[in-house]
Amino acid sequence: MSGSVRPPSGTPGPASNRPPPPAAKSGSIVRFKAALRKAKRRNFKEPEIDFLNITAMLDLMTIILVFMLKTVAASSASTPQSKDLSLPASVMRTEAAQEGVVVVISKSQILVGDDPNPVVLLPSREQLAQSGVDAKYKRSGPNDMYIVPLANSLQHARETDKAIRAAKGQDPSTSEAIIVADTTTPYRLLIEVLFTLGQSEFGKYHLMVISGKNKK
């Protein structure tokens, strides 16, 4: 008697219909993870560090400072006149100096730069012609020509000008001054100011005057 015999319930069928063994599946997962780690190591890059370039900022600030000082120097060439300050006339036709620390000598005071506060208050013209500024401003008595408060103010201006000249590639060993003096300034006072400038490392001076036709 012939016939087909069915396997009892719960008995696995042919090998082709059986699921893969668990070991094969776990092995493929291990290989995938290993390949993933290898790819990560191969494509790993150091994180970029973003930081502020201080050197570039300092260069920019130096350029801005130079521009501002040049603007101040240029504006000083058109100093307005008043009852306290009247510039002398001259036949010179050269261009007005554009660079230098401005020292204003009016009838009543001495100013440095754009500071509106006077460094020295001047006495009468008679006293200035004889002994210059008051002895209390001098270093060693009325016959001295060194004006202490003027020198102190020039020292601060000199430090700034020295840094600017070094940044521009110019000789920082000396500075220039633009002297704006009233036409009635006594010779003694002018010499005292020039002497104090020389003692403060200012080696070149420009005297601002009014040209024959154009104001400078």
pLDDT tens-digit series, residues 3-53: 555 555 555 555 555 555 555 556 677 777 777 777 777 766 655 555 556
pLDDT of residue 164: 85
| Segment 68-85 mean pLDDT | 59
Question: Which of 35-44, 72-81, 113-122, 161-170 is predicted with the least confidence, judged by mean pLDDT?
Answer: 72-81
| Segment 164-188 mean pLDDT | 88
Compute the mean pLDDT over every residue in the chain, rounded to the nearest whole number: 77
In the predicted model, is pLDDT for residue 200 greater than 90? Answer: yes
- The pairs formed by 157-160 with CB atoms below 8 angstroms and a separation of 24 or more are 157/101, 157/112, 157/113, 158/101, 158/200, 158/201, 158/202, 160/69
In the predicted model, is pLDDT for residue 194 greater than 90? Answer: yes
pLDDT of residue 99: 76
pLDDT of residue 216: 43
pLDDT tens-digit series, residues 138-149: 998 888 999 999
In the predicted model, is pLDDT for residue 93 greater than 70? Answer: no
Q: Indicate the pLDDT class of residue 56, thresholds 50, 70 and 90.
A: low
Alpha-carbon distance 125 to 185, whole Å?
8
Higher pLDDT pick, 41 / 77: 41
